[in-house]
Amino acid sequence: MKEGKLQEYIELLIPERTGLLAEMETYATEHGVPIMEPAGIEAMLQILRIKSPKAILEVGTAIGYSALRMAYALPDAKIVTIERDELRLDKAREYIKEAARESQIVTIFGDALETRDEAGKWAPYDVVFIDAAKGQYRRFFEMYAGLLRPGGVVITDNVLFKGLVAEQQEIDKKRIRNLVTKIDEYNRWLMSHPDYDTVILPVGDGVAVSVLR
């Protein structure tokens, strides 16, 4: 309960989004589209402001919410984002056009496990942001981390998965338990990776930040 109260307190301090971003948040809620939780995305954006990346690759566009948040925070950065759900990507492109960010954000339609060559056209990247199918996190990491510049950063969302990674034995549904097991395996692999220094931030749904040594 105490941890939940702390999260509520932090979120209460975050200024409410207005305009297009508020509209996107409402759309995501009404249509069940997953977007980053407020505290998680604010933490990520602050890391990006410190890093000042010129090129960012996002694996998992959804409706373009995170891409636009990054674009607003880093107007000089080029953002390339991949999405396999055509309807969501169409919606993302509508929002990107409405925000007049079409020259800053490049969208790629396709399964991220099959689009490395296309994404590679804009490499090298300073940051790779993974926020797609959680069961494939390690494959995404291994596939796209190779497009990073030296000293680049990989940011992964949802690595605590509503806190369930810490209480796997108590999960009744087999599908959820299997997914949580994969996330836990990814976290352990990531934390012991010889080429990266990683920290997991317990904000939002859990954000892992991995810096290439």
Q: Write out the binding residues for Mg(2+).
A: 131, 157-158
Binding residues for S-adenosyl-L-methionine: 36, 66, 83, 111-112, 131
Query: For the sheet containing 78-83, what is the strand order?
Result: 105-109, 78-83, 55-59, 125-130, 148-157, 207-212, 196-201
- Find out whether 60 and 93 touch, Cβ atoms under 8 Å: no
Annotated binding site: 36, 66, 83, 111-112, 131, 157-158
Q: How far is the C-alpha of 85 from the C-alpha of 63, rounded, in Å?
A: 10
- In angstroms, the CA 61 to CA 67 distance is 7
Closest CA to 126 of 76, 49, 57: 57
- Tell me the C-alpha distance between 116 and 9, whole Å: 40
Within the chain, where are the H helices? 2-13, 19-31, 38-51, 65-73, 86-98, 116-119, 137-144, 174-191
